[in-house]
């Protein structure tokens, strides 16, 4: 099947089809309990094959997301065309309605014009789809796993490790947003979980909340985490700040729209 337009760029429909294929693959793995059967004969080989196909699909999906409705890509193309000195060439076709096109437009200004002009024709559903696509493009595979683990609304323990001040308060934060959610999600880079959680919070997909006493055992396990132990060696007196993380309203809506098991 041809996934290219005549100009070589993918369409939104192409991306949707590709995402559906990736979702079906992930959904199959989830339904068959693929991750729980690794000890069976021949599973290692099958898993490597599945991961290779999955990586290929996700890589292609990310590439097409980079191309579909990318204002900066469109701005570069338009600016390049407008800046040509060939007066005999065909006039550049433009969709600008809010911000008039000008010759020799700087790419960043042209990109902002593209976004402003998109805002005129977008309805709620199209605007939401655009927002989710932009968020999806920023996620790493490990972050997607973490969001999946949080998607049912369950809270996970999180801690900040701070330097204890002379009066017993919290001073400089030396480790932020360490959490057990990484191990629960089976991330590939456990040492990067604090950064993953911080990024997901920054994207508005995850929220911090107060400590949950019922998770005491998990907090104790978290205190034995290698990343926590490492910073403890660097600070003479530490203060542990306990919190929880859970999926945000935006995160829940985003996951509902992107959940591959529903595809």
pTM: 0.64
pLDDT tens digits for range 107-140: 788 888 888 887 787 788 888 888 898 899 899 9
Q: What does the pLDDT read at residue 72?
A: 56
The two structure tokens encoding residue 66: 């980079």
Q: What does the pLDDT read at residue 122?
A: 79
Q: Distance between CA 173 and CA 92 in Å, rounded?
A: 53
Q: What is the mean pLDDT of the chain?
A: 74
Q: What is the mean pLDDT of residues 242-256?
A: 96
Residues in Cβ contact with 130 at an 8 Å cutoff, skipping those fewer than 6 apart:
69, 118, 122
The winner for highest mean pLDDT among 77-81, 101-105, 125-129 is 125-129
pLDDT tens digits for range 181-213: 999 999 999 999 999 999 999 999 999 999 999
Percent residues over pLDDT 70 in the chain: 57
Question: What residues does each domain of the chain span?
Answer: 12-68, 71-135, 141-262
Give φ, ψ of 247 to 5 degrees: -65, 140
Q: Which fold has domain 141-262?
A: Translation Initiation Factor IF3 (3.30.110)
pLDDT grade, residue 22 (50/70/90)? low
pLDDT grade, residue 177 (50/70/90)? very high
CB-based burial label for 100 (10 Å; 0-12, 13-18, 19+): exposed
């Amino acid at each position: 099947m041809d996934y290219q337009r005549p100009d070589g760029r993918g369409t939104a429909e192409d991306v949707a089809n590709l995402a559906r294929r990736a979702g079906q693959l992930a959904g199959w793995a989830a339904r068959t309990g693929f991750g729980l059967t690794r000890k069976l004969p021949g599973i290692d080989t099958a898993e490597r094959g599945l991961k290779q196909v999955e990586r290929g699909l996700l890589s292609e999906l990310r590439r097409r997301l980079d191309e579909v409705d990318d204002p900066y890509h469109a701005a570069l193309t338009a600016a390049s065309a407008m800046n040509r000195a060939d007066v005999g060439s065909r006039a550049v076709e433009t969709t600008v309605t809010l911000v008039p096109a000008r010759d020799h437009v700087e790419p960043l200004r042209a990109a902002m014009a593209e976004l402003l002009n998109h805002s005129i024709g977008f309805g709620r559903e199209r605007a939401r789809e655009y927002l989710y696509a932009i968020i999806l493009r920023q996620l790493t595979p490990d972050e997607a796993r973490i969001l999946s683990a949080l998607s049912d609304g369950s809270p996970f323990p999180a801690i900040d490790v701070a330097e204890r001040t002379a009066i017993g308060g919290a001073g400089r934060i030396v480790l932020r947003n360490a959490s057990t959610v990484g191990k629960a999600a089976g991330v590939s880079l456990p040492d990067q979980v604090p950064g993953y959680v911080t990024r997901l919070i920054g994207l508005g997909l995850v929220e911090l909340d107060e400590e949950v006493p019922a998770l005491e055992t998990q907090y104790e396990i978290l205190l034995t985490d290698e990343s926590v132990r490492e910073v403890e060696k660097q600070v003479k007196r530490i203060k542990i700040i306990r919190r929880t993380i859970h999926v945000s309203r935006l995160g829940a809506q985003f996951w509902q729209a992107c959940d591959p098991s529903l595809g």
